[in-house]
């Protein structure tokens, strides 16, 4: 390791419930590689909270690996997948470009050029941290196959749920309603073109026949939210499950009207391009689409919290604790020190 190379530091989960900033080895990029200086990253509140608490099931250790993860679950592990930075070394045509990379929280890192995705000029770097969430939302809608004019319910007003609602509300004739236990999420949902209801309000409307959904997407990460999603679904409707529960067991109300309404419960996961698109779309093309969609300034409402990189261990602890119940935080952005 050369002494004159720029220093690098990364956030590591040392043991479940405790993270720390560690120095990382530095090196020059080899042929076909680039060194990126991070500008911002984002914390995925769902998966990173599970990782922080050590709740990744042993059966999922390999499938849950992030592209540039170091270490293994439960710990020590370097985890994360939403980094935006600027290329400072590598191929001449790459230097100076703002890029998105599925990389853990780290000040500088060297990766293959093919792992970098150009951030469009119309997308500020600070908003580009939403790219992984947008990619998940796009894939979920591909799996859901909404139709023009559908009545669509999105249960769970987190970042992914609100992005799904924003995308769905742009389809011709759709009526999109976000359902969440936090009244404070109403303004964000409405600013993105969707309606909003508390669960009791939504269920009362559905019981009266006015609110049954043609399509329901569930993204609350809670068993109660999934039960609400099933109860909102109309006859022969589909409920698409976006949440991932780690090692938790989730009870399902498959009695009641589940069979008589002939409901379909379907999973979606961003690790594979949705089957309907897979023959024509690569993961790289899907990410380019997700980044281009972030040109909309209205999406800034989703970035509710910021913190400097040095405070990331404390931020992770707070978010992991808040993930057990309602939280005011939507997207938590981490800001890195200047060069």
Mean pLDDT of all residues in 305-310: 98
pLDDT at position 46, please?
81
Task: Encode pLDDT of 231-259 as tens digits.
Answer: 999 999 999 999 988 767 888 888 888 99
- Break the chain into its structural domains and give their ranges: 8-130+294-335, 133-267
1 pLDDT higher than 60: no
The fold for domain 133-267 equals Rossmann fold (3.40.50)
Per-residue confidence (pLDDT) for residue 250, from 0 to 100:
84
Question: What does the DSSP assignment read for 99-146?
Answer: EEE---SBSEEEEEGGG-EEPPTTS-HHHHTTHHHHHHHHHHHHHH--
**Residue-level pLDDT at 217:** 98
pLDDT of 210 reads 73
Distance CA 269, CA 243 (A): 9
Mean pLDDT of the chain: 94
Pick the CATH number of 8-130+294-335 from 3.90.180.10, 3.90.420.10, 3.40.50.970, 2.60.120.380: 3.90.180.10
Q: Quick check: 60 pLDDT over 70?
A: yes
CB 11 within 8 A of CB 312: yes
pLDDT, tens only, 100-135: 999 999 999 999 999 999 999 999 999 999 999 999
Q: Does residue 320 carry a pLDDT above 60?
A: yes
Long-range contacts of the stretch 295-301 (C-beta < 8 A, 24+):
295/120, 295/122, 295/123, 296/166, 298/166, 298/191, 298/192, 299/127, 299/130, 299/163, 299/166, 299/192, 300/127, 301/187, 301/188, 301/191, 301/192, 301/330
Nearest by Cα to 266 from 143, 160, 157, 180 = 143
**Before 297, cis peptide (omega within 30)?**
no
pLDDT at 216: 98
Query: How confident is the model at residue 228, as a pLDDT?
Result: 96
pLDDT score of 259: 93
Q: What is the pLDDT of residue 3?
A: 66
Torsion, CA 306, CA 311, CA 316, CA 317, rounded to 10: -120
The reported pTM is 0.94
Q: Is the pLDDT of residue 89 over 60?
A: yes
User: Would you place residue 2 in the very low, low, confident or very high pLDDT band (cuts 50, 70, 90)?
Assistant: low
pLDDT digits (tens, 9 = 90+) for 141-162: 999 999 999 999 999 999 999 9
Are 8-130+294-335 and 133-267 the same fold in CATH? no
Residues 175-188 have pLDDT tens digits of 999 999 999 999 99
> If pLDDT is split at 50, 70 and 90, which confidence band does 90 have?
very high
Contact 123, 291 (CB under 8 A): yes
Q: What residues does 305 pair with on adjacent strands?
A: 332
* Structure confidence at residue 152 (pLDDT): 98
178 upstream amide cis, omega within 30 of 0: no
């Amino acid at each position: 390791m050369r002494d004159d190379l720029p220093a690098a530091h990364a956030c590591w989960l040392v043991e479940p419930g405790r993270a720390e900033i560690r120095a990382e080895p530095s090196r020059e990029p080899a042929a076909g590689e680039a060194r990126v200086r991070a500008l911002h990253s984002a914390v995925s509140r769902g998966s990173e909270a599970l990782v922080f608490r050590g709740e990744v099931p042993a059966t999922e250790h390999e499938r849950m690996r992030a592209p540039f993860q170091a270490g293994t679950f439960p710990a020590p592990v370097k985890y994360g997948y939403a980094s935006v930075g600027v290329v400072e070394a590598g191929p001449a045509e790459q230097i100076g470009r703002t890029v998105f990379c599925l990389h853990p929280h780290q000040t500088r890192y060297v990766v293959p050029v093919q792992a970098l995705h150009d951030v469009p000029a119309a997308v500020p770097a600070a908003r580009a941290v939403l790219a992984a969430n947008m990619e998940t939302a796009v894939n979920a809608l591909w799996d859901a196959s909404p139709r023009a004019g559908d009545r669509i319910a999105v249960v769970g007003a987190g970042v992914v749920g609100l992005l799904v609602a924003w995308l769905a509300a742009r389809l011709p004739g759709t009526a999109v309603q976000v359902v969440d236990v936090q009244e404070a999420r109403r303004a964000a949902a409405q600013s993105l073109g969707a309606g909003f209801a508390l669960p009791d309000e939504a269920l009362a409307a559905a019981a009266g026949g006015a609110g049954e959904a043609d399509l329901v997407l569930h993204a609350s990460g809670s068993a109660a939210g999934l039960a609400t999603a099933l109860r909102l679904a109309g006859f022969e409707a589909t409920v698409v499950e976006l949440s991932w529960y780690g090692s938790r067991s989730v009870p399902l109300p498959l009695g009641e009207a589940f069979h008589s309404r002939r409901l379909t419960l379907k999973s979606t996961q961003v690790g594979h391009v949705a089957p309907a698109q897979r023959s024509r779309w690569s993961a790289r093309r899907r990410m380019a689409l997700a980044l281009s969609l972030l040109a909309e300034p209205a999406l800034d409402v989703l970035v509710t919290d910021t913190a400097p990189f040095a405070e990331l261990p404390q931020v992770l602890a707070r978010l992991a604790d808040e993930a057990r119940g309602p939280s005011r935080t939507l997207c938590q952005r981490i800001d890195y020190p200047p060069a």
